Chain A
Amino acid sequence: MAGLISLMILISLAGALITFLAKTREQARTIALITSGISLAITLLIFSRFDSSNPAMQFVESHSWIPSIGVTLKFGLDGIGMPLVLLANIIIPLTVIFAWGETKQANRFYGLILLELTGVMGVFTSLDFFVFYIFWEIVLIPMYFLISIWGGPRKEYAAIKFFIYTHVASLVMLLAIFALYFNALGITGIPSFDMFGLLKSYQVMDGDLIKGVISLKDAVFIGLLFGFIVKMPAVPFHTWLPDAHVEAPTAGSVILAALLLKMGGYGLFRVILPILPYSKSPSIMITLMAIIGVVSILYGTFLALAQRDLKKMVAYSSISHMGYVTLGAAALVPLSVSGAMYQQFSHGLITGILFMSCGVIQHSAGTRIIHELGGIAKYMPKLTFVMLAGFLASLGLPGMSGFIAEFLVLVNSYFTLPTFVILALFGIVFTAGYHLWAMQRAVFGTYNEKLGHIHDGANYEIASMAILVLLVIYFGLNPNPVLNMMTVNAEQLLKYVVLRGVIT
């Protein structure tokens, strides 16, 4: 008996395959929209039935797959995965609407977008490490093609860099997963890739990877962490991101920033936090994560300030915003962790608006270089409105979702990581700075006559951005529908931390 989650995954997969076979562009985009719509409807159904006060896995389903080595198709949702599945199902239909005008190889384009949906939903719901890894890798392939076929001038370089960078990181993660697996196999004698079982077996892992240099525990921890922070991405493993974003088509950028980066953050909450208290030296690992977080926030901000290309600026702002996720996770205070989770959800919505804005400007004005633009508000009033809303949300204006997330992270992280929070606070000033400065130069002021006559974004483009703006405002005013479940799960995660006395 298939449950709702596998139904959702199967529908998007089937939709993707049918879209590939579609004969015309009209068919392709219609099927893509219907499929993602059905998937969204199922998600909303699950969401409405979801019990946010229960930290346990819900809607659990389990199908035997390869019993010989202990692989089970096991899916479930809790307060960590649910909001991200919701996010994926909000972003994908809106991306399809936004990219409604795509003409080049439309059947493949929309098919790949649906395949991304399948992949990320699989990642966010799998409770079996093996299946998790398969979905994790499935996500890479459509994105590689989205960049390398529909991308900008340097698309091939960007696509292959993206692929190799994140693939190598996943392989390191895979090695760590196998280390966990064989460790558990040695203890219980029963082959199993069950995620919670393996994470639990980490507690009793011992031995050295290389005697006297690094213990197996540390190696596994760092291997897993590496897999996730490259995906997030955190400085210093971020260099694939700006290239990929600059060359990717708008739809690809939106999916990359709104969903793929979230996989890294999801890994932190799902995998890293449960094993953190049992690692050989938790305090060093916490410091390491906090440093990575703060450096990402500050370095991302400063690089964003220096960019000439609007889209590259947005890409660096993503790095900076994802830094809050790492920082909040490292702080290990229930509300900082749930703030970090909320940051993931909120950033997914906001960054969608930002990248879509860049796409509309590129399409209409023919350039994204900030100083070649100027005063486009005159001819693009609708775009200016939604774009300004997106930029304000991104810089953390109260009343919008970004504010709540960053506020929670900064205020609550102060209890455990005061120095890092004070450093991160400097980032806020500059974040506001580069957002407003870019708006001022590119959108407002006197019109740059060299651009000629430009037209406003198409209605379907503006509509999908406007929906995102409304959601950002809604979740900024009423975060509870998703924040509650996050907090419940964050508290449950941190119980073990307190028990182990890692922090007081």
Chain B
Amino acid sequence: MNFNINFAILAPEILLTVLAFVIIIIGLLISDKSKNMLGYISAAGLLASLVYVIGNGMTEKASYFYDSLVVDPLSQVFKLIFLIVSLIAVIASIEYFKDNRNQDEYYALILLSTVGMMVVASANDLIALFVGFELASMSTYVLAGFEKKNPASLEAAMKYFIIGSLSSALMLFGMSLIYGITSTTNIPGIIEFFRSAPLMAESSLGVLAMIFLVAGFGFKMALVPFHMWAPDTYEGSPSVVSSLLAAGSKKMGFVAAFKVLVLALVAIRADVQFTFAILAIITMTYGNVVALSQRSIKRMLAYSSIAQAGYIALAFVVTTPMSIAGGVLLALGHALMKGGAFIAVAVVGYMVLSDDKNAKNIDDLENFAGLGKRAPITALGFFVFFLALAGIPPSAGFIGKLLLFYSITVQAISQSSSWLLLVVIIAILNSALSIYYYARVIKYMYVLPPKGEKIKEPTAYVVAILIAVIGTIGIGLYPEPFIIMAKNAAQVVLGV
């Protein structure tokens, strides 16, 4: 083992951890009034980490702590996702939690949850994976309930906590079974073991372990039937936290699944793919159909998030480099689109509350009437995010879906398999269906008359929304570097 390790590549994680504690300490020392600056410090820290991750090359490879953490293109892409989402959420929080006396804890928790997600992205060992998961989850349980006086927020946090603990338990049990079979917690070691002894993987114990892992990750990814917590939690949590949950912490499940499941799938057998196809199709159809009837925009976004998880899960169906790349790219796109959309909901909330202090159901569809006139930048943001979520070019959502559908079609043709083609057709019909509920909101925003005066959109929100808009369209307009990045990540996933 080489003890002369270069920790420079882990600088983002180190920086954010230190920053989290520094913020707590500063928070103890300064007055409540000056706590507003903590948001700027956190944003600066996240931005520095983001720049460092991008600047350090997305193709870096390194391994730390007896091979329990690795840095590779896969981990870097997901770190990029987590950092962008946290950055957007923190920038918006500067406005959302302005003058809140608990800001120090809030920002420290966001930073720690980001570190947790980053550890998951880098984890090369089941224990490290679990520790990362728990760090991120614990922090976000508190964040979801951060509006202490709002019962909906508390309910959201409670549900999220109970379901989250259950999923952790399931995951841990699955991991312990795997450890029992393979007597190692190192992920490549596990894969190696299953490759050399495929019979063990197909034994009832191996299948049971997989089922527990799928369930554990499935809760985080909010795949049907493990999705029940998501709409309530996203609806009840503060919008900025929903943004972090839907756009960031959800991807944690995906990166874990990419690391463990795909590798295991490749090692084990092909007909698990069929299970994933069914899971993906049920998830996207359920998400889209239920989203149709929602009048609360946050719930609609939650269900559309479930639907998007279904699309991303298509990546597991054929497990070609192209499909994994599509999944990674859609995860990146979804982080931008969904993160931005929840922030935009926060602006609507701000607008409604400034009309009427005691307003209920602030994210109701009715409040979106004439938003194009009342809050033009927010409405533009929604317009872009919704079209992107529906997969309309040129946007990140379109490119991601395109690669996914494309890769499955190529497989369907090369294997002349009609059920794969059917999967694609159902997915495309789902996309078409989703246009309906997105377009309905767009109609409310631009066609219906406004219900109040034009408002001044707070700068912090505008910055956060614009970052997400530029990212969403930028990837759509110039996708090639991102496709290459995602393909590099896919190669890591497939161990090529």
Contacts and interface: CB of A to CB of B under 8 A. Distances in A.
Contacts of A137: 392-393
Interface in B302-341: 322
A35 to B, nearest CB: 20
Interface string A61-72: 000111111000
Contact-residue size bin, chain B (C-beta under 8 Å from the other chain):
20 to 34
A178 interface: yes
Contact of A171 (B392, B394, B432): B432
Contacts of A178: 409
A404 to B, nearest CB: 39
B386 to A, nearest CB: 12
Contacts of A156: 443, 447
Given A69-B402, A137-B392, A171-B432, A182 B447 contact: no
A130 B12 CA distance: 40
B202 interface: no
Interface string B404-436: 001001100100000000000000000010000
Interface string B270-299: 000000000000000000000000000000
Contacts of A65: 478-480
A148 B447 contact: yes
A67 B480 contact: yes
Contact-residue size bin, chain A (C-beta under 8 Å from the other chain):
10 to 19
A402 to B, nearest CB: 37
B439 to A, nearest CB: 8
B413 A182 contact: yes
Interface string A162-189: 0000000001000000100010011000
A420 interface: no
B479 A182 contact: no
Contact of A186 (B413, B446, B479, B480): B413
Interface string B68-112: 000000000000000000000000000000000000000000000
A426 B446 CA distance: 46
Interface string A133-177: 010010000000100110000001000000000000001000000
Interface in B5-32: none
A145 B480 contact: no
Given A134-B394, A137-B392, A186-B413, A69 B447 contact: no
A68 B480 CA distance: 7
B403 interface: yes
B413 A66 contact: no
Nearest to B486: A68
Contact of B446 (A66, A67, A149): A149
B483 interface: yes
Contacts of B393: 134, 137
A65 B476 CA distance: 10
A145 B483 contact: no
B446 A145 contact: yes
Nearest to B372: A108
Interface in A67-85: 67-69
Interface in A114-148: 134, 137, 145, 148
6 contacts: A64-B480, A66-B480, A66-B483, A134-B394, A137-B393, A148-B446
10 closest Cβ contacts across the A-B interface? A68-B483, A134-B393, A148-B447, A66-B479, A66-B480, A182-B413, A149-B447, A69-B406, A67-B480, A182-B409
Interface of B: 322, 392-394, 399, 402-403, 406, 409-410, 413, 432, 443, 446-447, 478-480, 483-484, 487
